[in-house]
């Protein structure tokens, strides 16, 4: 999971993880930026999972927790 992964260094990290066959997830507060990042990854043949969430908010962070 890469927080702030919809752009810049975060997106580069997520792309690198996905490129090494890791299950990469990116988190951002902006759904629009997540969608753009996911399209960029898909064009590069990479799969990433996206979650719009503010991880500074405990309730939002718990919403996306895998059980």
pLDDT at 67: 39
Give me the pLDDT at residue 60, please: 75
Residue 14 to residue 8: CA distance in whole angstroms:
10
Cβ atoms of residues 29 and 50 within 8 Å: no
Residues in the chain with pLDDT values less than 70: 64-67
Q: pTM for this one?
A: 0.81
pLDDT at residue 65 in the model: 53
Assign residue 41 a region: left if phi > 0, alpha if psi is -120 to 50, beta otherwise? alpha
């Amino acid at each position: 999971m890469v927080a702030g992964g919809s752009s810049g260094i975060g997106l580069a990290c997520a792309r690198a993880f996905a490129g090494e066959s890791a299950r990469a997830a990116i988190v951002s507060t902006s759904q629009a930026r997540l969608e753009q990042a996911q399209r960029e990854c898909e064009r590069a043949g990479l799969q990433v999972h996206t979650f719009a969430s503010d991880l500074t908010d405990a309730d939002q962070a718990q919403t996306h927790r895998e059980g």
